[in-house]
Amino acid sequence: MLQVEHLSKSFGSYKALDDLNFTIEDGKILGLIGQNGAGKTTTFRLILDFLTKDSGNVWWNGHELSEKDYDLIGYLPEERGLYPKVTIEDQLLFFSSLRGKNKQEILPKIDEWMEKFQVKGKKTDKVKSLSKGNQQKVQLIATLIHEPKLVILDEPFSGLDPVNAELLKNGIIELKKKGSCVIFSSHNMDNVEKICDHLIMLRNGETVLNGKVHEIRESFGRSKLYLEAPLTKEELSAFPGVHSIWEKEDGSFDITLDDPAAGQAIFAKATKDGYIPMFNQQPPTLEEIFKWKAGAVNE
């Protein structure tokens, strides 16, 4: 279990992180979101003691996280770094040795992890011969192959196409099932929403969202309505509480409500003659909430 308590960091007069608090239980995933410069990478560097904190504590299973725990950590920095003239195999053996693993432990796992992430190449290939995407997969394997108990991933999905992003998500979920604590940052709200148990959003170093993903979404009310029914845009616009309507090419509607209660009246009119293909009233998406919070001046 990872606990962060009252973590703060300033650079001169600039407050990079202000009183951050969270807990990640074993087998749980925390997503850290925010605009560039919000404090995400600073948070990771403070947890790992790459930066000296101004105040606060980082606890791992009841004791302060220290150098003796580093072999249990898998860290993927935002700035990737591999040795281009070294083979995949030698690279993975080297990075694993830095985590206290010997050749006999890691060598049998290399083929398994390369297959899991569908690396296009042989383990005897030099890294420079791989495509950028496959190089990133090797870096991810180097982060995860020793099966760390604490996994910190800074923008792991950056540069990955949807197929490879799905492979990474499956790898993260597999570590979760084995009991690892996982924390990652991402600008892809869909990935965050699908795999995170808990979410924190930072803005200018301050925490503006902190909670379970579905609870955060529900707290904004069910203001999104997806409708396919024999109603016109003009009829829908006449309902009190309707903020905006987007009519899609297939004739269905994406409706934003000022008042979620308007959904009941719309449903009643849409179904007065019976069955309709779609009525789905949801909270705003995480991406919409992110945009609102990122652009907000005052809470």
pLDDT digits (tens, 9 = 90+) for 16-25: 999 999 999 9
Q: Is the pLDDT at 38 greater than 90, yes or no?
A: yes
Strands 278-282 and 253-257: what pairing?
unpaired
Q: What is the mean pLDDT of residues 144-162?
A: 89
Q: What is the pLDDT of residue 298?
A: 42
Q: Name which residue leads in pLDDT, 26 or 191.
A: 26
Which among 278, 279, 280, 292 has a CA at the least distance from the CA of 219?
Answer: 292
Q: What is the pLDDT of residue 297?
A: 46
Distances (CA, A) of 29 to 72, 149, 169, 194: 16, 12, 11, 11
Q: What is the pLDDT of residue 299?
A: 43
The answer to whether residues 68 and 124 touch, using CB atoms and an 8 Å cutoff, is: no
Q: Name which residue leads in pLDDT, 152 or 299.
A: 152
The answer to whether residues 180 and 28 touch, using CB atoms and an 8 Å cutoff, is: no
Query: At 238, is the pLDDT very low, low, confident or very high (cuts 50, 70, 90)?
Result: very high
Q: What is the pLDDT of residue 39?
A: 95
Percent of the chain predicted with pLDDT > 90 = 70
Residues 6+ apart with CB under 8 A from 132: 159
Burial of 87 (0-12, 13-18, 19+ CB in 10 A): middle
Which among 123, 99, 121 has a CA at the least distance from the CA of 109?
Answer: 123
Q: What is the pLDDT of residue 1?
A: 93
Query: At 296, is the pLDDT very low, low, confident or very high (cuts 50, 70, 90)?
Result: low
CB atoms within 10 A of CB 172: 23
Report all structural domains of the chain as residue ranges with CATH numbers, in order of start.
Answer: 2-217 (3.40.50.300), 221-282 (3.30.70)
Q: CA-CA distance, 75 to 165, in Å (whole number)?
A: 18
Q: Which of 83-87, 144-148, 215-219, 294-298 shows the lowest per-residue confidence on average (mean pLDDT)?
A: 294-298
For 71-102, the pLDDT digits (tens) are 899 999 887 788 889 999 999 999 999 888 89
Residues 6+ apart with CB under 8 A from 1: 23, 24, 25, 26, 59, 60, 61, 62, 181
Phi-psi domain of 145 (left: phi exceeds 0; alpha: psi -120 through 50; beta: other): alpha
Q: Is the pLDDT at 167 greater than 80, yes or no?
A: yes
Q: What is the mean pLDDT of residues 199-209?
A: 95
Helical residues (DSSP H) of the chain, grouped into ranges? 40-47, 88-97, 103-116, 132-144, 162-177, 189-195, 213-219, 233-237, 262-270, 286-295
List beta partners, residue 135.
none
Q: Is the dihedral of CA 83, 97, 167, 175 positive or negative?
A: negative
